[in-house]
Amino acid sequence: MLNLKEHKKKIIGLAAVVAVAIGAGYYYFSQQNDGLVLYGNVDIRQVSLAFNSSERIEKMLVEEGDRVKKNDLLATLESKPLELSIAKSEAAIEKQEAVVQRLKNGSRPEEIEQSAAKMRAAEADYENALLYKNRMAELYKSSAISKQEMDNASARFKAAAADLDNARETYRLSEIGPRAEDIAEAEAQLKGLRADLLLQKYNLSQTKLLSPIDGVVRSRLQEPGDMASPQKPVYLIAVEDTKWVRAYISEKRLGEIKPGMAAQVIIDTYPDKPINGQVGYISNVAEFTPKTVQTEELRSSLVYEVRVYVEDKDNVLRMGMPATVKLL
């Protein structure tokens, strides 16, 4: 009877030892597997696209959810006024180019001969006016004419002399051609017209809204007929090649993480398919916990922002999606 009691005591004691061992092992392994868990939301970079000029929107070519490539045409503005202005500028440039070419070529032989003929005619008028003045002077000395007639003859001679000087100067200029300053002035005017044309063509190119990146259209914010301006976005484009989870960690656990640490991101849609990532950013400034963080431990404390960048090859993450981050 005593042996049976002792045997039962030994069995009970052994069971107690086993229970303690099992509990200790469970505690040990649970502590080993208790990695740091954070909660946050998926974030994606996005680009706000607007026209550089103010004009009415003519066409909107993509919708929300459409995938776009870099340099794809997304929307256009009305361009008729700019096209008419460009045509007018091109005509003004052609006219000014002709002026510059004429100045550079100088006077044609026919123009020089024409100036010479005018000079010869002015010389003949001068000789005739001189003879007439001398004849009137002799008559005036003999009191055959009045002083008024003598004055008229003198005035005729002076006018003929001035015409001769002008004709000679015109002939001289036709021989030497335009001045270098005149050519430079004409070329400067031509340069200004060409610069205006380049500006107008640039403004015409800005009537087309092109995608600067590969991405997905998140929002279509305006419609054809709306007045566009640089301050009014037309589309929001999400950049898919860079995604991260924005999470928050309390100060007492801040020392448990560091940049480059491996992590797994789990979402409710695919709880059994964690997405690999790593810690890429840890804020240096504490802030109040955002309302999107739902853990009781963090609801009313100061925390630090942590960004966990992920490799979302299957493109399952969406903007604002809640996610759980397990740091490894």
Q: What's the confidence (pLDDT) of residue 159?
A: 92
DSSP state of 252: G
Q: What's the confidence (pLDDT) of residue 31?
A: 39
Q: What's the confidence (pLDDT) of residue 142?
A: 83
pLDDT at 25 over 80: no
pLDDT band at 20 (very low <50, low <70, confident <90, very high): very low
- Quick check: 234 and 69 in contact, CB under 8 A? no
Percent of the chain with pLDDT over 90: 40
pLDDT at 107 over 70: no
Which helix (H) or strand (E) covers residue 32, if one does? Answer: helix 2-33
Q: What's the confidence (pLDDT) of residue 3?
A: 53
Among 221, 229, 203, 213, which Cα is nearest to 62's?
221
Which helix (H) or strand (E) covers residue 138, if one does? Answer: helix 109-141
Among 298, 296, 292, 308, which Cα is nearest to 249's?
298
pLDDT at 57 over 90: yes
DSSP state of 145: S
- Looking at per-residue pLDDT, the higher value among 98 and 242 belongs to 98
pLDDT at 76 over 90: yes
- Quick check: 166 and 143 in contact, CB under 8 A? no
DSSP state string for 159-216? HHHHHHHHHHHHHHHHHH-S-HHHHHHHHHHHHHHHHHHHHHHHHHHTTEEE-SSSEE
pLDDT at 30 over 70: no
Q: What's the confidence (pLDDT) of residue 19?
A: 46
pTM: 0.58
pLDDT band at 255 (very low <50, low <70, confident <90, very high): confident
Average pLDDT over residues 23-50: 68
* Backbone phi and psi for residue 42, each to the nearest 5 degrees, phi listed first: -70, 135
Q: What is the CA radius of gyration of the chain?
A: 47
Backbone φ/ψ region at 324: left (φ over 0), alpha (ψ -120 to 50), beta: beta
Q: What's the confidence (pLDDT) of residue 296?
A: 52
Question: What does each C-alpha distance from 101 to 104, 106, 186, 257 come to in angstroms?
Answer: 5, 9, 9, 75
Cα dihedral 8→13→18→20 (10° resolution): 140
pLDDT at 299 over 80: no
For all residues of the chain together, what is the average pLDDT?
A: 83
30 contact partners, CB below 8 Å, separation of at least 6: none
Q: What's the confidence (pLDDT) of residue 12?
A: 56
Strands 235-250 and 275-282: unpaired
